[in-house]
C-alpha cells in the first residue's frame, strides 16, 4: 500500500504507545505499560506515569520501527496525542514528538485521542459513514460523539457526569477485594477478577460478596 508513513505517539495515561501507519494499514505498534508501578496505590499516579513514559518512550519507538522493518528516516510525519489525558504524561509524549519532528524535519500533528478512538476503526472497517455516532466506553471516558469529520468535526452529545465505566469497574473491584490488573499479570493472565468473584456464592444461601461501609 502506498501512502505517507506516520509515526504515532500516545502517552495520555499509564501506557506508552508508539505505532506506524501507512495509509490505513497498521504496520506495527509497541506498548509499554506502567500498571505494575501503580498497583500499590490502587490507581494511576500521574507523576509515576510521567516518569515511566520518559523511560519507555525511545525503546517503544525503536521496537515499532524494528517490527515494521523501517528506519526513522523513512517516516513522513509525526502524530501525537495532545489531549485529553494526564497533563504530565501528555507533556512527555508531546515533547518527544516535537523532538522527533524537529530532528527529522517532518510535520507534526496534534491529535485528540477521543477522535483517535473513532478513527482507528478505519484500519479494520474502512472509511466511516458520514455522519457517524460513536460510543466510547473506556477506562477514563464514556462518551457519545457525533462525528461529521473525524479530523476536525467531532461533537459531544453526552457523557457520564462522574466516573467513566472503566473507573467504576476499578472502584467496585477494589471495594470487593478483587486483584488489580498488575496483580493478575504478575501471576496469571486469567487471574481472579470481577466475574469469578461475582459467581462465588454460598451454595445454600445464594449470598453474594458485599463490602462494609467506611466508618463515618
Domain positions in the chain: 5-126
Partners of 8 in the beta sheet? 19, 79
Q: Are 93 and 49 in contact (CB under 8 A)?
A: no
**pLDDT at residue 184 in the model:** 52
Calculate the dihedral angle through the C-alpha atoms of 44, 8, 101, 14, rounding to the nearest 10 degrees.
10
CATH, domain range 5-126: 3.30.420.40
Is the pLDDT score of 207 beyond 90? no
**pLDDT, tens digit, 9 for 90 and up, residues 69-124:** 999 999 999 999 999 999 999 999 999 999 999 999 999 999 998 899 899 888 88
How many helices (H) does the chain have, and how many strands (E)? 8, 8
Is the pLDDT score of 62 beyond 80? yes
Q: Which has more confidence, 138 or 23? A: 23
Its pTM stands at 0.76
Q: Are 79 and 9 in contact (CB under 8 A)?
A: yes
Per-residue cell: 199: 459467581
Amino acid at each position: 500500500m502506498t501512502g505517507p508513513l506516520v509515526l504515532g505517539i500516545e502517552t495520555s495515561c499509564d501506557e506508552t504507545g508508539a505505532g506506524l501507519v501507512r495509509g490505513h494499514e497498521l504496520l506495527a505498534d509497541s506498548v509499554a505499560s506502567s500498571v505494575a508501578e501503580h498497583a500499590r496505590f490502587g490507581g494511576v499516579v500521574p507523576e509515576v506515569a510521567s516518569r515511566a513514559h520518559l523511560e519507555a518512550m525511545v525503546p517503544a519507538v525503536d521496537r515499532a520501527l524494528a517490527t515494521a522493518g523501517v528506519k526513522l528516516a523513512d517516516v513522513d510525519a509525526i502524530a501525537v496525542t495532545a489531549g485529553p489525558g494526564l497533563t504530565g504524561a501528555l507533556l512527555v509524549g508531546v515533547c518527544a514528538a516535537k523532538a522527533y519532528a524537529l530532528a527529522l524535519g517532518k510535520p507534526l500533528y496534534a491529535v485528540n485521542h477521543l477522535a483517535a478512538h473513532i478513527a482507528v476503526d478505519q484500519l479494520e472497517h474502512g472509511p466511516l459513514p458520514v455522519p457517524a455516532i460513536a460510543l466510547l466506553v473506556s477506562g477514563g471516558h464514556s462518551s457519545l460523539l457525533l462525528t461529521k469529520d473525524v479530523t476536525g468535526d467531532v461533537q459531544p452529545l453526552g457523557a457520564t457526569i462522574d466516573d467513566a465505566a472503566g473507573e467504576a469497574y476499578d472502584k467496585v473491584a477494589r471495594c470487593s477485594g478483587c486483584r488489580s490488573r498488575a496483580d493478575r499479570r504478575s501471576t496469571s493472565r486469567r487471574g481472579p477478577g470481577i466475574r469469578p468473584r461475582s459467581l462465588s456464592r454460598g451454595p445454600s444461601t445464594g449470598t453474594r460478596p458485599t463490602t462494609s461501609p467506611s466508618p463515618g
